[in-house]
Amino acid sequence: MSAENNWKEELSLLKSIIQKAGLQETVKWGTDVFTYKGRNLISYAGFKSYFGLWFYNGVFLEDTHKVLVNAQENKTKALRQWRFRSIEEVSEPLILEYIREAIRNEDQGKILKPVRSADAVIPAGLLEVLEGDKDLKRAFETLPPYKRKEYAEYIESAKREETRKVRIGKIKPLILAGLGLNDKYRTL
């Protein structure tokens, strides 16, 4: 049974509350997303142990009632979640208050602009292999920065030197083919 089915009544209630805010309803990434002036504002979903809302630019909400959480500290920048564990925790007036604040923030242009991350620092072991193989180095350098960073992080994340060497061996053909480490998971 999917997490969505576990919270069917609760998700239906959240959706009905959000719909009262007069937002544009659309489907993105396979889920309902409510937009305001073309910008993603709020969505909802069910998970294993909770159901909830998330505000795409929730970082700007005052959160006077202390209900919002950052789902992934040091990763998630703007998005904030509001988690519920029972239908009794859902307060329509409070949710609508937060949605109205999110709309005001959008009207004021409060948007967190993504910060470009620095170029990848190539781990020593990978750097050695690249320096020793000109074709591999040339292929690596033609990859977009995000793909080079994926490879660097993949090698760097290995705890043991032996694992790093095995990983380098596995990625060589991908690099030579101009592929990124996670290309098989991406859709065009």
Cα radius of gyration (the chain): 22
**Structural domains in the chain, sorted by start:** 3-107 (3.90.1150.200), 124-185 (no CATH)
Q: How far apart are CA 133 and CA 126, in angstroms?
A: 11
How far is the CA of 138 from the CAs of 71, 144, 168, in angstroms? 39, 12, 16
Tens-of-pLDDT digits for all 188 residues of the chain?
456 678 999 999 999 999 999 999 999 988 999 999 999 999 999 999 999 999 999 999 999 999 999 988 877 889 999 999 999 999 999 999 999 999 999 999 998 877 766 677 899 999 999 999 999 999 999 999 889 999 999 999 999 999 999 999 999 999 999 998 888 777 65
Given the DSSP bridges, would you call strands 51-55 and 68-69 parallel, antiparallel or unpaired?
Answer: unpaired
Instruction: Write down the pTM of the prediction.
Output: 0.65
Q: How far apart are CA 141 and CA 118, in angstroms?
A: 16
Burial of 105 (0-12, 13-18, 19+ CB in 10 A): buried
Question: Which of 154, 182, 180 is closest to 168 using CA atoms?
Answer: 154
Contacts of 33 (CB under 8 A, 6+ apart): 25, 26, 27, 40, 42, 43
